[in-house]
Structure formats: structure tokens, C-alpha cells
Amino acid sequence: MKYVSSRGEAPVLGFSDALLAGLANDGGLYVPETWPTLDAETIRGFAGRPYADVAFDILLPFVGEDIAPADLKRMVDEAYATFPHPAVAPLVQIGPAHFVLELFHGPTLAFKDVAMQLIARLMDHVLAQRGRRATIVGATSGDTGGAAIAAFAGSHRTDLFILFPHGRVSPVQQRQMTTSGADNVHAVAVDGTFDDCQALVKAMFNDRRFREEAALSGVNSINWGRIMSQIVYYFTAAASLGAPDRMVSFTVPTGNFGDIFAGYGARRMGLPIERLVIATNENDILVRSLDRGRYETGGVHATMSPSMDIQVSSNFERLIFEASGRDADLVRRLMQQLSQSGGFQLPDHVLTAIRAEFDAGATNEAETAETIRRMLATTAYLLDPHTAVGVHVAETHMSHSPMITLGTAHPAKFPDAVKKACGLSPALPPSHADLMQKRETVDRLPNDIDAIEQYVLARSRAVTQGADA
């Protein structure tokens, strides 16, 4: 399998190179040259099989010749053995035709663990094959950072730098990032928003000299490895409800558009999905874009679902590339307009193609709180605020098929918001019992690319000992 950049000017890469590259060197995002497809018999056969086995079958075509099947199988088995729930991603029924796909049974209680546990192993494997080190930089609105730190802490081949917006993540999220005690991990509180952190990460990638010197790699969903790993659970969930002989729909709480792009990928691979619904909080840029065709960034609103407080939605670029018939010139033009003027108009044919694939809805804070309260009262099921955004939007997009809302985080990651909504303060699971007592290590830096680059250069072993050491 080869990977091409959405901006068309970066080298076409094999899987291992695309994995280590993170962002393409023309600023674009890698997508597979062609989408592998699965026939109905194969999809039907996923029902009832262990999650790791299905993951292996789905991921094998994406890694191509680069990773030996036996190595992939070992890494997939190890990754999903870190999930204490035997199903890894169980489905829970919350209404007559409404299910929550619980993706939060991993080490940091958020859906990011599903991909991060695997790509940390894949990256270490590829770096070991090449006798190399990498400096990994990531931006987080709360969950990616903790999941990446849990997955990479103690890795001998990587140094990990996570930028998070100071004061804008929940205390549990912050402590998952600041208490690892691992000396290859650096949690950095940036004076800015998540969009600022993400822009800093992209600026580091686009600084060619720095990128080479630091042997830079990324673990945000700009990295194809993240998206491909997230495709798996769309298949396991749908097959368990009767796919491909029965259509299903999905509603996805959305910020950076990675998780729902994985759903789009599953559909391209042959999964019959009736509705694919984008759900946002008050940061509703995606909903407005589908409505009016204009992608226009504005100020970020702080909400009770902070991980989705995002304006610049990275993976929307992958979607524009696909929906435009892979028109890299158009993608380049639109992304330039975005960086120059903060917005762009989607051409009619692209908007029509996107509307044919997606529905979209937004919730306000009162609706999110009401959904948490009502679900607890009527079904005794406690939602986290991000999943509640999804459930609320899903309820207004029910159709003929069963609706699966992605449960993206455990409610105990956001105890204050949940308590305010319904009066109940969810307890952290035993794996997190001492989290709030551990000592924190965190550095605070300004929203300034020079300061961040200097910080990274001074601490990365790929710089001080050489990327090939």
C-alpha cells in the first residue's frame, strides 16, 4: 500500500514512512492511494470474533509489505490486551434502536487509546528496524495527550512532547499527562487554545530544518496510523448488529474530524452505513460548513466537552481531498485561504459530495447537560459530556437503521461537568485510584514557535544523541 498527500506535492510513501512522517512535507495529510475493500462474507464473519483478530484482518492491507503479518499480529494482540474489557469496544443499548459504542476501556479512559496503543508499538517497531530515534510532538485538547503519554512512556526510541492549552483541560486529563514520571515524556502547558497548540505542531513540521534536526514524528490524527486503527471499531460494532445484511448508522462526537473520517473510511471499504452523523458542541464550524458551504473559523468557546473545543478541524482536509475527486490543487488553494484569511468557500460539487455522505448537528450546553440528566434518569446510563453531545444529535437523526453513538470518553474524566449536570460524581476506576495524589511535572510556555522549538531541541535525545544513535 502506498500513501499520497492531500496536497499532491510530497513524495508518495509506503506505510512505515507515512507512519513516521506524520504530516506530509507539503503540509498535507496522507491517505491510502486506493481504499482496500472487504466483501460481504468477510464483514459478516467479523461478528463474534475477538477484537484483535478483526483488527489484524482490517489493518493488514494498510500496512502492506512493510510489516510482517506475524509482527502485526503480535502488536495488535499486545495493544488490545491493555484493554481490561474482554470485548475491547462493547456496545451498550440505551434506547429501542440506539446504542453507545464504548471506546473508553483503555488505559486513559478515552477512545484515543484504541489507536494510540497500537501506533506506539508500530512506531517503536519501525524505529527499531531502522536503528533510529524520533521526536514526537503532539497537540491535545485533553485526551490525545494522555493516551500518547500512556502509550509511549518509557520508550527508548522516542521522546514525546505534548502541548496542551493551559487551564482548558479537565484536572483528570491534566494529571494523566503530568504524572507519568517517565523521562522521555514532556507535558507542556501552552498559553493559548487547542487550535494554537495544533498550529504550533504544524509549524514545527513545516519548518524543514527543525523537522530534520529533531527527526520529527507526530501522533495526532494527522498521522494515518491513527485513522486506520479507528476504522476497526466501525466494523466490529456494525457486524455485531447484523452488518452487512442490516444497515447501521453512526453518530460521532467530532472535533478534529479524525474519528468520523475513520467511519467514512469504513464506508469506502464496503461497510453499509446508512447515516454518518457529525455531532459538535457549540464549536459548530463543521455543522455551519455543511449548512452554508463556508468553512469559517471564529473564537473558540470553552464548553463542558473541552476535548471538542476545536475550530481548525485537521482531517476535514482529508475529506475535501476525497470529496473533490482527489483534487490536490484545490486542497492546496483552500488551505492557503484558510491560513491567510481564516476561511474558505467549498465549491458546489465538493459541498454536494460531502452532503451526500454526512449529516450534521450541534448541541448547546443546556442540551448536553439535559441529555446526561435524562439518560441517567431513564436508563441509569451515565454519559460523559462528549458522548452526550453525540447522543443528543443522534436522537434527532434516527432513521430506519439502528443508531450507534460513539462513546468517546469515560464520565469520570469530567466529574465536575457530570456532577453539575446530574448531581452524580462518577468515581475513577481502580487503575486511576492514586492519580490525584501523584506529583505533577509540567512546563508552561508561551504560544511562540521559537520558544517551543528551543524547548524541544534542548530535551530531545534524537537531537542530543543523533537520530540514528
CB of 230 to ligand LJ64HWYM, least distance (A): 9
Q: Count other Cβ atoms within 10 Å, centred on residue 288.
A: 16
Q: Between 144 and 240, name the residue whose CB sits nearer to ligand LJ64HWYM.
A: 144
How many residues interact with ligand PLP (rule CB under 6 A)? 17
Contact status, residue 158 vs residue 124, Cβ threshold 8 Å: yes
Query: Would you call 286 helix, strand, or coil by DSSP?
Result: helix
Kindly tell me which residue out of 179, 180, 221, 281 binds ligand LJ64HWYM, with binding defined by CB under 6 A. Answer: 221
Torsion angles phi and psi, residue 385, rounded to 5? -65, -30
Among 80, 62, 54, 75, residue whose Cα is nearest residue 125: 75
Contact status, residue 92 vs residue 99, Cβ threshold 8 Å: yes
**Interatomic CA distance for residues 362 and 366, integer angstroms:** 12
Query: Would you call 416 helix, strand, or coil by DSSP?
Result: helix
Stretch that binds ligand LJ64HWYM, among 151-159, 251-259, 261-269, 449-457 (CB under 6 A): 251-259
Helix (H) / strand (E) containing 251:
strand 248-253
Contact status, residue 164 vs residue 189, Cβ threshold 8 Å: yes
From the list ligand PLP, ligand LJ64HWYM, none, pick the one residue 386 interacts with, judged by a Cβ distance below 5 to 8 Å according to partner type: ligand PLP
Interface residues for ligand PLP in 162-201 (CB under 6 A)? none
For residue 45, with 0-12 CB atoms within 10 Å meaning exposed, 13-18 middle and 19 or more buried, which class applies? middle
Kindly tell me which residue out of 408, 421, 456, 462 binds ligand PLP, with binding defined by CB under 6 A. Answer: 408
Kindly tell me which residue out of 5, 16, 117, 144 binds ligand LJ64HWYM, with binding defined by CB under 6 A. Answer: 144
Kindly tell me which residue out of 216, 372, 409, 422 binds ligand PLP, with binding defined by CB under 6 A. Answer: 409
Kindly tell me which residue out of 113, 124, 143, 195 binds ligand LJ64HWYM, with binding defined by CB under 6 A. Answer: 143
The answer to whether residue 112 is catalytic is: yes
Cell numbers 521559537 correspond to: 450
256 binds ligand LJ64HWYM (CB under 6 A): yes
Query: Would you call 277 helix, strand, or coil by DSSP?
Result: strand
Q: Which residues contact 340 (CB under 8 A, 6 or more apart)?
A: none
CB of 169 to ligand LJ64HWYM, least distance (A): 8
Contact status, residue 164 vs residue 247, Cβ threshold 8 Å: no
Q: Count other Cβ atoms within 10 Å, centred on residue 130.
A: 14
| Helical pair 51-63 and 224-240, crossing angle rounded to 10 deg | 140
Kindly tell me which residue out of 5, 141, 229, 240 binds ligand LJ64HWYM, with binding defined by CB under 6 A. Answer: 141
255 binds ligand LJ64HWYM (CB under 6 A): yes
**Interatomic CA distance for residues 347 and 361, integer angstroms:** 21
Cell numbers 493488514 correspond to: 60
Interface residues for ligand PLP in 367-386 (CB under 6 A)? 386
**Interatomic CA distance for residues 224 and 306, integer angstroms:** 24
Q: Which residues contact 274 (CB under 8 A, 6 or more apart)?
A: 247, 248, 249, 399, 400, 401
Q: Count other Cβ atoms within 10 Å, centred on residue 136.
A: 29
Stretch that binds ligand PLP, among 72-80, 243-251, 254-262, 370-378 (CB under 6 A): 254-262
Kindly tell me which residue out of 32, 258, 407, 415 binds ligand PLP, with binding defined by CB under 6 A. Answer: 258
How many residues interact with ligand LJ64HWYM (rule CB under 6 A)? 13
259 binds ligand PLP (CB under 6 A): yes
CB of 172 to ligand LJ64HWYM, least distance (A): 12
Interface residues for ligand PLP in 104-133 (CB under 6 A)? 110
Identified catalytic residue from 2, 73, 112, 413: 112
Q: Between 120 and 353, name the residue whose CB sits nearer to ligand LJ64HWYM.
A: 120
From the list ligand LJ64HWYM, ligand PLP, none, pick the one residue 220 interacts with, judged by a Cβ distance below 5 to 8 Å according to partner type: ligand LJ64HWYM
Stretch that binds ligand PLP, among 196-204, 251-259, 347-355, 367-375 (CB under 6 A): 251-259
Q: Are strands 98-102 and 91-95 parallel, antiparallel or unpaired?
A: antiparallel
| Helical pair 51-63 and 69-81, crossing angle rounded to 10 deg | 140
Kindly tell me which residue out of 27, 253, 263, 402 binds ligand PLP, with binding defined by CB under 6 A. Answer: 253
CB of 333 to ligand LJ64HWYM, least distance (A): 23
Stretch that binds ligand PLP, among 181-189, 258-266, 368-376, 427-435 (CB under 6 A): 258-266
254 binds ligand LJ64HWYM (CB under 6 A): no
DSSP per residue over 181-224, as a string?
A: --TTEEEEEESS-HHHHHHHHHHHHH-HHHHHHHTEEE-STTSH
Task: By CB under 6 A, name the binding residues for ligand PLP.
Answer: 110, 142-143, 221, 253-260, 307-308, 386, 408-409
- Please identify every residue annotated as catalytic: 112
Residues near ligand LJ64HWYM, by CB under 6 A: 140-145, 220-221, 255-256, 258, 307, 314
